[in-house]
Amino acid sequence: MAYWQDQGKAPTACVDTFGCQQNVADGQRIMGMLQTMGFTFTDEPAQADLVLLNTCAVREHAEKRVYGNLGALTHTKKANPAQVICLCGCMAQQPSVAKKVRESYRHVDLVFGPHALWRFPELLYQVYTRRGRVFSIDDEPGTIAEGLPVVRDKGVKAWVSIIYGCNNFCSYCIVPYVRGRERSRDAECILEEVRGLVAEGYKDITLLGQNVNSYGRDLGTGMDFADLLARIDGEVEGDYLIRFMSSHPKDATPKLFDTMARCPHVARQLHLPFQSGNNRVLEAMNRRYTREKYLELVNYAKDVMPGLVLTSDVIIGFPGETEAEAMDTVSLVREVGFDALFTFIYSPRPGTAAAAMPDPATRAEKQVWFDRLLDAQNEISARQHAAYVGSTVRVLVDGESGDERWPLSSRTNGGRLVHLLGSRDLIGSFATARITDANTWALFGEAVE
């Protein structure tokens, strides 16, 4: 801060986050640290004293976008040579990326991975005082920094990370390489954070982890994820909902579903990524469950939680996947009847096991299979949504929809989007909605007394 006082003005930062909610949560902590250092925020890179890209490495497309953005920053830096450019997040943790940035993106001043997040102020201080480039991408296993400041979005939704890293090494996935091994946060710290959020007025809180079902294994306290959910539900009072993502099917248990069913604060929503409906492909992905085990799990969850909203992640075109195997994925989608899916075409990630596997299917073939998957899911989503029409549901009104006819945006307990006709005074509170219309992506309704 003293550095900026010497410059006689308050500095501005532009923070751009890519990737999953965990990265969004990390971005909010980075903004918290910047705010504590005296920065204010802008969305315009050209007006910022500091630009920070918080990146994702999960698919090639995500990385390409970041390189495109980094390239554009040569112009802002040319116009303002004092501008400091930072690259962090999952891409930055990869040695090959750091090498490329060191050699070809010489306008980037600071590169650090998720392991060094908590050291950001110290690293930035080095940049400002030495005016030299700083790279911090060493693995620092086991570090969890509690108590970092956070700049959260205004409104009703908040994210709470409960476990960092991943031990699963699904053969297609870069995450374990860039986020390190699983580290669970102390339960008391999580409870305190959730209690604080509810007291501040947040009403829709999502617990985050690459596999929340692993929560507690490394702590040795005997407490598992279902126990954590039950403690939050029982000990944090107030009118709020708890959601979580993601759950790995190999670790999801009837105990978890029974706990969800009996805890009134826990939303009736389950994001349970299955990735493929074919057992050979699941084995090659190193997912460690079968199609049959997955079906057994979701059937149990649906039995104990009527009205459960189910979503999932799916990959089409894994190396060696045949058309028949891809169609097993489509048939599983039809059999389960998901409310929504996050669908991806396989993207090779250098250094992962799958990147070395033969991949004979063409991109055009994979696109055809992918389109069939989308058609199947769109039909199912439209049908699931149509079934809401005529019903009355409790929703949490979270903002404006931008839609003239239904000006409010809201979510059901299960997380489905409802465009709502009602007073703007409802924003930030729970309301009752009569559903009058639906399409593939959303429900439409009016607020009722």
Identity of the amino acid at 324: A
What part of residues 344-373 is at the interface with ligand SAM (CB under 6 A)? 344, 346-347, 349
- For ligand F3S, the binding residue among 33, 57, 205, 397 (CB under 6 A) is 57
Near ligand F3S by CB under 6 A: residue from 11, 14, 15, 22: 22
**Of 83, 211, 381, 401, which one interacts with ligand SAM (CB under 6 A)?**
211
- If one asks whether residue 166 binds ligand SF4 (CB under 6 A), the answer comes out as yes
β-sheet bridge partners, residue 204: 157, 241
The stretch among 136-144, 175-183, 296-304, 362-370 that binds ligand F3S (CB under 6 A) is 175-183
Q: CA torsion, points 36, 38, 42, 47, in degrees to nearest 10?
A: -150
Q: Is 349 in the site for ligand SF4 (CB under 6 A)?
A: no
Of 210, 214, 331, 240, the C-alpha closest to 279 is 331
CB of 18 to ligand F3S, least distance (A): 7
Of 215, 118, 121, 227, the C-alpha closest to 160 is 215
Count of C-beta atoms within a 10 Å radius of residue 104? 11
Q: Is 179 near ligand F3S (CB under 6 A)?
A: yes
- Over the window 87 to 126, marking each residue x when it contacts ligand F3S by CB under 6 A and - when it does not, the resulting string is --xx------------------------------------
Minimal distance, residue 23 CB to ligand F3S, in Å = 4
Pick between residue 118 and residue 344 the one whose CB is nearest to ligand SAM.
344
Contacts of 300 (CB under 8 A, 6+ apart): 254, 257
- Using the rule CB under 6 A, is 20 a contact of ligand SAM? yes
Which one of ligand SAM, ligand F3S, ligand SF4, none is in contact with 23 (Cβ closer than 5 to 8 A by kind)? ligand F3S
Cβ atoms 435, 391 nearer than 8 A: yes
Residue 349, amino acid: R
- We find the least distance from the C-beta atom of residue 359 to ligand SAM, in angstroms, to be 12
Say whether residue 210 binds ligand SAM (CB under 6 A). Answer: yes
Q: Which of ligand SAM, ligand SF4, ligand F3S, none interacts with 346 (beta carbon under 5 to 8 A by kind)?
A: ligand SAM
Residues of this chain that interact with ligand SAM (CB under 6 A) are 20, 58-59, 172-173, 175, 210-211, 246, 248, 273, 275, 313, 315, 344, 346-347, 349
- Binding-site residues for [4Fe-4S] cluster sit at 20, 56, 90, 166, 170, 173
Residues of this chain that interact with ligand F3S (CB under 6 A) are 19-20, 22-23, 56-58, 89-90, 174-175, 178-179
